[in-house]
Amino acid sequence: MNVLIVDDEPLARSRLQRLLEDFSDYTVVGEADNGHSALTLADRLQPDVILMDIRMPGMDGLEAAQHLTTLEQPPAIIFTTAYSDHALDAFQTHALGYLMKPIRKERLERALHKAIKPNRAQLSAAVQEERQSARSHICVRQRGNLNLIPVPQILYFLAEHKYVTIHHKEGEDLIEDSLKLLQEEFNDGFTRIHRNALVANNHISGIVKNNEGGYLICFRNSEQRLDISRRHLPAVRKKLKAMQLG
């Protein structure tokens, strides 16, 4: 089985590499030092198992695991951590494993033997239970490759038919997240202006009235405008007022 090692500490990666050399059924196919690189390598190498540190600078292991749900067949994930504050009960519930550092050979062997490739729903549910902060990126597939869109570059999410389109500074892409879940995750930085639209607070420049008596949201450095529903208008006005006072 092919293994990808992900840890920001070179010594930790080297130790796992040495331990795995004693297991004839496992081959290390790559190493990454952050979540972003882990996602890129996982998409290209298609490992069977990922040994992934939880706490890493930039994109941590939990967020990287959430982005891995975009793969058709997510790998088995064994999280590694030096922090006992992660109870990680959700990982056991959803057939995901974890190891406490320092990692011992016999424990690693047991974890590898028990590793099961979760389906996308299992992986997503497990990671969402454990993550306590919103994602820093949204993962999309562009021309067959995975691409990470930084959340600060997103203008708005728009639900159309069965899909949600993410509109960002470089263009737009379809994603599988529901608008309801996106609102729950990014509630602090985004505002619901319509049943089908969620906009980024930091890109809003104001509100204007249209010829029909309705209201539109305006964006900084963009000519795009979106309808504000009558139902959401009071809350939008309240949010903008609070932002201005802040």
Q: Find the CATH number of the domain harbouring 27.
A: 3.40.50.2300
Over residues 64-79, mean pLDDT? 87
* 76 and 123 Cβ atoms separated by less than 8 Å: no
pLDDT of residue 74: 86
pLDDT of residue 69: 81
Same domain, 111 and 33: yes
Indicate the pLDDT class of residue 164, thresholds 50, 70 and 90.
very high
89 torsion bin: left (phi>0), alpha (psi -120 to 50), beta (else): alpha
Same domain, 152 and 122: no
Short-list 236, 244, 237, CA closest to 198: 236
Same domain, 62 and 154: no
pLDDT of residue 90: 45
* 35 and 43 Cβ atoms separated by less than 8 Å: no
Indicate the pLDDT class of residue 119, thresholds 50, 70 and 90.
low
DSSP secondary structure, the chain, as one string: -EEEEE-S-HHHHHHHHHHHTT-TT-EEEEEESSHHHHHHHHHHH--SEEEEES--SSS-HHHHHHHGGGSSSPPEEEEEES-TT---HHHHHTT-EEEESSPPHHHHHHHHHH-----HHHHHHHHHHH--S--SEEEEEETTEEEEEEGGGEEEEEEETTEEEEEETTEEEEE---HHHHHHHSTTTEEEEETTEEEEGGGEEEEEE-TTS-EEEEETT---EEEE-TTTHHHHHHHHHHHHH-
Which two tokens mark 215? Answer: 């209201």
Q: How far is CA 94 from CA 3, 21, 78, 188, in A?
A: 20, 28, 12, 28
User: Is pLDDT of 118 > 70?
Assistant: no
User: Is pLDDT of 85 > 90?
Assistant: no
Same domain, 84 and 169: no
Which of these three, 89, 113, 130, is where a domain ends? 130
User: Is pLDDT of 246 > 90?
Assistant: no
User: Mean pLDDT score of the chain, rounded to an integer?
Assistant: 87
Which of these three, 130, 158, 184, is where a domain ends? 130
Q: Are strands 225-228 and 215-219 parallel, antiparallel or unpaired?
A: antiparallel
Over residues 92-121, mean pLDDT? 78
* Residue found under tokens 């309240």: 238
User: Is pLDDT of 157 > 90?
Assistant: yes
* 73 and 39 Cβ atoms separated by less than 8 Å: no
Which residues have CB under 8 Å from 63's CB, separation 6+?
35, 131, 135, 136, 137
Domain span at 104 = 2-130
Over residues 193-215, mean pLDDT? 95
Same domain, 114 and 148: no
Same domain, 146 and 234: yes
Over residues 56-69, mean pLDDT? 88
Same domain, 100 and 205: no
Same domain, 187 and 75: no
Same domain, 157 and 237: yes
The pTM score is: 0.78
* Distance from C-alpha of 218 to C-alpha of 76, rounded to nearest angstrom: 44
Which of these three, 130, 157, 190, is where a domain ends? 130
Number of domains in the chain: 2
Radius of gyration of the chain (CA): 21
Whichever domain contains 186, its CATH number is 2.40.50.1020
Same domain, 28 and 120: yes
Same domain, 126 and 146: no
* Distance from C-alpha of 191 to C-alpha of 135, rounded to nearest angstrom: 16
Same domain, 111 and 166: no
* Distance from C-alpha of 83 to C-alpha of 59, rounded to nearest angstrom: 17
